[in-house]
A and B are shown apart, each in its own frame.
Chain A
Amino acid sequence: MIAEDSVLLRVGLVKVLETAGFEVAAEVGDAQALLTAMAEHRPDLAVVDVRMPPGFTDEGVRAALEIRERWPDTAVLMLSQYVEERYAAHLLASNTSGIGYLLKQRVADVEEFIEALRRVADGGTALDPQVVAQLLVRRRSDPLERLTEREREVLALMAEGRSNAGIAGALVVSESAVAKHINNILAKLDLPKADADHRRVLAVLRFLGV
């Protein structure tokens, strides 16, 4: 299910999704049509643009919240020209599983975008690094100051919703090193240890004030 008002991009998105092996049930151009199509097709994943007609403000966010309320099992990936931490907070307020919020331009890095799509479709989280950066600028002298530079990088990647393997790949280190960093971070920030990835994301995001 794709909701995007720019026809050009919609065509591109369909191509990317089909390349990744997803089946596109419907594609629409505004929030109202999105909800109608959702009720009809009940897809597993909705890729939704934030700014859509008629108001071109945050229709996509509101539609996404309604989708999560009416069909809680549906994964939603929001795309936007600019990401705003406030919208992320709205989206992640109830739970973080099966939610993604990425800059539109991330679609251009096809492989990474498909990886994020799969993560969200499987009930994980995919937050844009920009969102995490925005969450981090708002912190003043607090436990975060106690983290080393490396630990801060790991924390940001954790907040994006990446798995240990994903973090290890991004930083080019071994998974065991990542696990050690994560343990240190959770200890320094007084966060509970969690086995499941999305529980860990939830804890980190709550700590960052989402």
Chain B
Amino acid sequence: MTLPPRLRRALVRVRRDLLFLAAGVPLHGIPPLLFCWACLHLADILGPGTTWGTLGLPIPVTLLVIAAYGLTEAQRWRFRALCGVDLPRLRFRESKRQWAYNCLIGPLFGLLEALLLAVLAAALTAATSLLWVEALGWEWRVNHFGAWTRAGYATAAGLLVLAAVPALAGGLVRLENLVGRAVLHVSRSEELQRRVEDLTTSRAGAVDAADAERRRIERDLHDGAQQRLVALALNLGLAKATLKDLPPEARQVIDEAHRDAKEAIEELNSLVRGLHPAVLDELGLDAALSGLAARAPLPVRLWTDLPERAAPAVEAVAYFVVSEALNNVAKHADATRAEVTVTRLGEILRVVVSDDGVGGADPSGGSGVKGLAQRVRSVDGAFRMSSPVGGPTTMTVELPCTT
């Protein structure tokens, strides 16, 4: 038998609400029980004044203190797992609110929850009273005249109350949510601070993951396609060198294939080189840059002063900046020469790429420059570009390297 979707959803919701409330009863009930226990000891001390009262008092008091803080975590779990509400994790400093919630407001809610569950149990019993009367048999009914009527009333009343339970339960859950959020919140500045910490961590993770991915692609291409291309070019080269008596047409075809293969190797090398060269990990930024500068299609002067290595993520961004900047110079600047300066001063790694080209580069336009600026920002770097029409163009990037 399939239930209509609306009814099914309503049943699921009621079940979830009731579970949430039922889990609340023991959690909210613990502090009052401990309090009562402590009161018994106190009464004992103030009354006959036996020693066990004095000795035993610290136990419930300690448990109460633990509960005041520990229950906050338990409540967070209850709200998250059973109600889908994510309350913030409270620090020890926020003890006033934790005490208030666990030891004052909580027990009140515990009472309401227990009451609602009791009403539910009573309503269930009442609603089924006709069945009870039927089960007790004919003889009992003769002795208790009017039981049918009374059972009928009880069933009707039970069903009415049962019909009201979902609304009551839903209302109580909403009320708990409101109060829980109001009492167990963290201050705005604290919340923002935590958010920033979270975002910083997750962003660093994303940057590292992207770097790792580039390394993996570089490695895969190096071990796969690049070796195959070299082997292909080698075989064509061998054919060229050894097959001397071929007709000229065949020689020409082999020559062209050989040249194409070599150009494909060059292109792929340049592309992969821009990703994340192995030497960057092994020997650092300083060693990796000369390869970039030498591969550029225009004369590049390189000046580095890097007394120590920066973090891998920072090195990767700096490398990318130089690679991308030289690409842009080669493509758009119409320059005769470029200069790359990479220096480390204290906690700042400064990368300056300048060219004597036509200028007029737009720092906000052009996907290359934009991607460059974004990658610089991903490690909290600063990006500046000066490119008056007529040149020269200078791009300065400063990356923080906190060691």
Contacts and interface: CB of A to CB of B under 8 A. Distances in A.
- Give the interface SS of chain A, mostly helix, strand, loop or mixed: helix
Nearest to B222: A81
A51 B222 contact: yes
Nearest to B224: A6
Given A12-B235, A16-B238, A108 B230 contact: yes
B237 A82 contact: no
A108 B294 contact: no
Given A56-B219, A86-B287, A140 B303 contact: yes
B39 interface: no
Contacts of A8: 227-228, 231
A59 to B, nearest CB: 11
A109 B261 CA distance: 11
Interface in A128-142: 130, 133-140
A57 interface: yes
Nearest to B293: A137
A105 B282 CA distance: 23
Nearest to A53: B223
A85 B290 contact: yes
11 contacts: A12-B234, A12-B235, A82-B279, A84-B279, A86-B279, A108-B237, A130-B291, A130-B294, A134-B294, A137-B293, A138-B304
A133 B299 CA distance: 10
Interface string A13-40: 1011001000000000000000000000
Contact of B231 (A9, A85, A110): A9
Interface residues of B, number: 42
Contacts of B290: 84-85, 134-135, 137-138
Nearest to B302: A137
Contacts of B241: 19, 110-111
B262 interface: yes
Contacts of A110: 234, 237-238, 240-241
B330 to A, nearest CB: 14
A104 interface: yes
B230 A56 contact: no
Interface string A36-53: 000000000000000100
Given A82-B269, A83-B291, 18 more contacts: A8-B227, A9-B227, A9-B231, A9-B234, A19-B241, A56-B219, A81-B230, A84-B288, A84-B291, A107-B234, A108-B236, A108-B258, A108-B262, A110-B237, A111-B241, A134-B293, A137-B300, A138-B304
A105 B238 contact: no
Contacts of B223: 6, 56
Contacts of A57: 278, 281-282
Contacts of B237: 107-110, 113
A65 B222 CA distance: 23
Interface of B: 219, 222-223, 226-228, 230-231, 233-238, 240-242, 258, 261-262, 265-266, 269, 273, 277-279, 281-283, 287-288, 290-291, 293-295, 300-304
A104 B279 contact: no
B222 A105 contact: no
B291 A82 contact: yes
Nearest to B277: A82
Contacts of A138: 290, 302-304
A81 B226 CA distance: 8
Given A12-B238, A84-B287, A108 B233 contact: yes
The 4 closest A-B pairs by CB, nearest first: A108-B233, A133-B294, A6-B227, A134-B290
